[in-house]
Structure 1
Amino acid sequence: MRTQNPNVSLIQVEGVQTTKDAQFYLGKRVAYVYRAQREINGSKIRVIWGRIARTHGTNGVVKARFRKNLPPKVFGASVRVGLLYIYLFFSFSFLFFFFSFLQFLQKKNKKNSNKMSTVYTVFLTIGLLISGVCIPLILTFQDNQTIRNEQDDSFYKFSQPLLQTAMIFLGEIICIAVIHLVTKTPSLLDRSMLEAVQPHTTNSYNDYNDWVRPHTATWSWSAAWFILPSACDLIATTLLNLGLIYTTPSVYQMMKSSIVGFSAILSCLFLSRKFIRKEWVSIFAILLGTTTIFWSVIYKDKANYLGPIFLLVAQLFVAAQFILEEYLMDRFSLDPVRAMGIEGVFGIILLGGALVITALFGQNEFDISRGFQDLFNSYILWQSALVLAFMVAVFNFFGLAVSSSIGVPGRSMIDSLRTILTWVIAIHYGWDTFSWLELIGFSVLVFGVFIFNGVFTCVKTSIIGESTPLLS
């Protein structure tokens, strides 16, 4: 570390290589963490707070000014961009949600003695949580990989949203294959988990809506209508990956939570679903929280509006996908697992066509041919791609297996925990920053989702059949 004045230091932020990238950290607080030795009370960890004042040079170095003079000789000194109290805040928030979830789970298992055991459910929940956190972080990790262009000796980042969509689709295909395997071989899984991943194997359907009940489903050309939700899924996933390039993992995860509000509005418009007053209040809270999060991104960087816009448009396609799925499954009497398989087939066809078209005509920064070369030439990229596909498969399978035990309220709490963990880990690696405005928007969004999905026991619906929560 180079020091000009006792309270001014030059800092090289991890992952920042240009002045333009360094400008993002202007005004951010930093902590100078060091170990003081040879004191009367022994070694202690010391922290001196400061703030990044300006950029320095063209190599991404920033200049930070601290409140106190930095010690001239320290042992193990380092500068970490971030706020220590943010980690404490997120830790307490995570513990609060986690213990609340465990308490909720115990109460639910007392009422449903035939469900999976608490230990088994907690195991699936932890797997669901870990895999759900890893997915956006792996995508962000890939987006931040710098690749050298051998032609002009320049550098560029791996920006391939369609290739990332292919990785995600691969994970979904693996999940579908595993589901069909375990349903053909029931001895591979516990009975309760088998019933969870394939609900139509059980004889009781009191816990499901009418459209989930199994019917005699044979293939007909009418099932080709499922190409519509498959197309929505492909477009939405690609837009989500594209939006993540221009925004942060926390905003990506929070915008995905807003799907509850958009799906509720579309179901009211196209499926004639009715909601009570409290549910409309929750929908308004969801939209208000989403708007606040969107504004927090624009407030931090006015030129960074593309990311949230892509994410919002993606949620509209996801909502359209869910509405189409519900309508088509009821219209053509298909159970969810079979419908998922049909959508998977159409998804492969559409994805293959999209890859071919972009390979022929997409000669820009998202050049798919160059993306394939970069993917297979970099062991970091292809290994992370395999991990991403595996995590998607685990997330979908565990989510399907645990949903029947914890229900929609439990999934809502897990999603909140997932967002908190994603945010704090992204901050730790320098991929995200803390924003009070974003935190307020997230709190309002979570409050609305919790009310709509029945997490708060004070909110009880009175419309039978029409008040079932839409999404987890």
Structure 2
Amino acid sequence: MAWTKYQLFLAGLMLVTGSINTLSAKWADNLKAEGCGGSEEHSFQHPFLQAVGMFLGELSCLFAFFLLRCRASGQSDTSVDPQRPFNPLLFLPPALCDMTGTSLMYVALTMTSASSFQMLRGAVIIFTGLFSVAFLGRRLVLSQWLGILATIAGLVVVGLADLRSKNDSQHKLSEVITGDLLIIMAQIVIAVQMVLEEKFVYAHSVHPLRAVGTEGLFGFVILSLLLVPMYFIPAGSFSGNPRGVLEDALDAFCQLGRQPLIILALLGNISSIAFFNFAGISVTKELSATTRMVLDSLRVVVIWALSLTLRWEVFHPLQILGFVILLLGTALYNGLHRPLLACLSRARRPAQEGEQERLLGGSRTSINETS
């Protein structure tokens, strides 16, 4: 069945905005500007402030939901039914997980390349599968266990590629190891978030835009308040700001005033989050969750290609092997091999039937008549 123009638009929107999300965050990390009090020019490394911006993008999904509900009023569109009761506090536990996982990932992005960052996010499959067995009582089939094993192998290969590409100094080597570990830790937290969402939130038939937006509201408010104590918590070499604290929001705003490109990068990150969530939900509704997964995997290719073009990272052939293994693991876990095997079996069946027809009815001359 051919895709409609609207479906192609949604698929393209998801791929583009998903790629912009990671690339804009990495672009902001690479930009430099002077801070407050005449401090020297330094990189814009403010991961927690960037996480606040990400939640602002998620919060915009809540406004989109209410706009859809207003448009649906008076129509028979039950997908945005305003009468569905739910307790907003159900969103608090997954929002806290989202806040923790997102903050860890933005910290890790300052330490590793954008392509490795995107590839290592595939680790969420491992922990989602294990947690669904432990807490949701699910049983994984053989292909899903093989997908988890393939994903683990792919993560090892990507990690080795990172080590090979960052072996020029011990400081960079320690940074990339820390960054990779933080990404894995973030995927554990995000897997818990996904299990909580399925167990408590989506069990109440809450509209996905409303779920994302409400989590964004909790994350935005809580993390914005946490920026105040972070301003006074020393972080030593772990910090990327001149004061050496966990997060210096004032320094970030001073850099924003001195380098408009940072503002552009942050706006790109915030808006891409909003459109990416909308496009992802729409792709699942219009096409399938499998299509959404495939498009999400293709983001790695786009991010990798642009990162190499912009010379943000150095090419390493091990990354290709790691990406292929990760893609195989994702495909096995999500059952992409089933339609492929079904197509192969359907293609083989007519060939076998044709060959049987030739054997039974192709030549009707008696063996004794042949010479």
Among candidates 65, 89, 101, match of residue 179 of structure 1: 65
Q: Does 1:448 align with 2:334?
A: no
Which residue of structure 2 lines up, in the alignment, with residue 396 of structure 1? 277
Among candidates 241, 244, 248, match of residue 106 of structure 2: 241
Contact 2:108 2:183 in 1 (8 A): yes
CA distance in 2 between partners of 1:347 and 1:169 (Å):
6
Among candidates 41, 52, 68, match of residue 166 of structure 1: 52
Cα deviation 1:38-78 (Å, max 9, x = unaligned): xxxxxxxxxxxxxxxxxxxxxxxxxxxxxxxxxxxxxxxxx
Among candidates 228, 233, 247, match of residue 356 of structure 1: 228
Q: Does 1:148 align with 2:42?
A: no
Contact 1:408 1:453 in 2 (8 A): no
CA distance in 2 between partners of 1:333 and 1:124 (Å):
23
CA distance in 2 between partners of 1:181 and 1:414 (Å):
27
Contact 1:140 1:249 in 2 (8 A): yes
- Tell me how far 1:149 sits from its aligned partner: 5.5
CA distance in 1 between partners of 2:4 and 2:38 (Å):
59
- Tell me how far 1:383 sits from its aligned partner: 2.3
Q: Does 1:132 align with 2:4?
A: no
Cα deviation 1:316-354 (Å, max 9, x = unaligned): 111011111111126767554444344233223211221
Moved more, 131-140 or 326-335: 326-335
* C-alpha spacing 1:452/1:151, structure 2 compared with 1 (3 Å): same
Which residue of structure 1 lines up, in the alignment, with residue 123 of structure 2? 258
CA distance in 1 between partners of 2:211 and 2:14 (Å):
23
CA distance in 1 between partners of 2:61 and 2:214 (Å):
14
Percent identity reads 27
Among candidates 127, 130, 135, match of residue 270 of structure 1: 135
* C-alpha spacing 1:373/1:155, structure 2 compared with 1 (3 Å): closer
* C-alpha spacing 1:121/1:306, structure 2 compared with 1 (3 Å): same
Count of residue correspondences: 325
CA distance in 2 between partners of 1:380 and 1:356 (Å):
25
Report SS of the residue matched to 1:361: coil
Letter in 2 for 1:447: L
Please identify which structure carries the higher helix content: 2
Which residue of structure 2 lines up, in the alignment, with residue 84 of structure 1? none
Q: Does 1:374 align with 2:255?
A: yes
Contact 1:278 1:459 in 2 (8 A): no
Moved more, 225-234 or 327-336: 327-336
CA distance in 1 between partners of 2:146 and 2:341 (Å):
11
* C-alpha spacing 1:124/1:335, structure 2 compared with 1 (3 Å): closer
Report SS of the residue matched to 1:396: helix
- Tell me how far 1:200 sits from its aligned partner: 5.8
Letter in 2 for 1:253: Q
Please identify which structure carries the higher strand content: 1
Letter in 1 for 2:281: L
Matches within 5 A, 1:18-97: none
Which residue of structure 2 lines up, in the alignment, with residue 283 of structure 1? 148
Letter in 2 for 1:282: G
Contact 1:215 1:335 in 2 (8 A): no
Letter in 2 for 1:391: S
Report SS of the residue matched to 2:41: strand
Scaled by the length of structure 1, the TM-score of the pair is 0.63
CA distance in 2 between partners of 1:277 and 1:238 (Å):
34
Cα deviation 1:368-414 (Å, max 9, x = unaligned): 22112212332111222222211111111111112122212211221
CA distance in 1 between partners of 2:12 and 2:322 (Å):
26
Scaled by the length of structure 2, the TM-score of the pair is 0.80
Letter in 2 for 1:374: Q
CA distance in 2 between partners of 1:133 and 1:341 (Å):
21
* C-alpha spacing 1:338/1:392, structure 2 compared with 1 (3 Å): closer
CA distance in 2 between partners of 1:171 and 1:400 (Å):
15
Which residue of structure 1 lines up, in the alignment, with residue 196 of structure 2? 324
Which residue of structure 2 lines up, in the alignment, with residue 58 of structure 1? none
**Structure 2 spans left out of the alignment, 5+ residues:** 167-172, 235-242, 343-371
Contact 2:61 2:213 in 1 (8 A): no
Contact 1:409 1:450 in 2 (8 A): no
Letter in 2 for 1:401: S
CA distance in 1 between partners of 2:11 and 2:212 (Å):
22
* C-alpha spacing 1:449/1:218, structure 2 compared with 1 (3 Å): closer
CA distance in 2 between partners of 1:342 and 1:175 (Å):
8
CA distance in 2 between partners of 1:295 and 1:267 (Å):
29
Higher relative contact order (CA 8 A, sep 6+): 2
RMSD: 2.7
**Structure 1 spans left out of the alignment, 5+ residues:** 1-105, 110-116, 202-213, 461-472
* C-alpha spacing 1:242/1:300, structure 2 compared with 1 (3 Å): same
CA distance in 2 between partners of 1:321 and 1:343 (Å):
11
Letter in 2 for 1:139: A
Among candidates 337, 340, 344, match of residue 212 of structure 2: 340
Contact 1:290 1:441 in 2 (8 A): yes
CA distance in 1 between partners of 2:36 and 2:225 (Å):
30
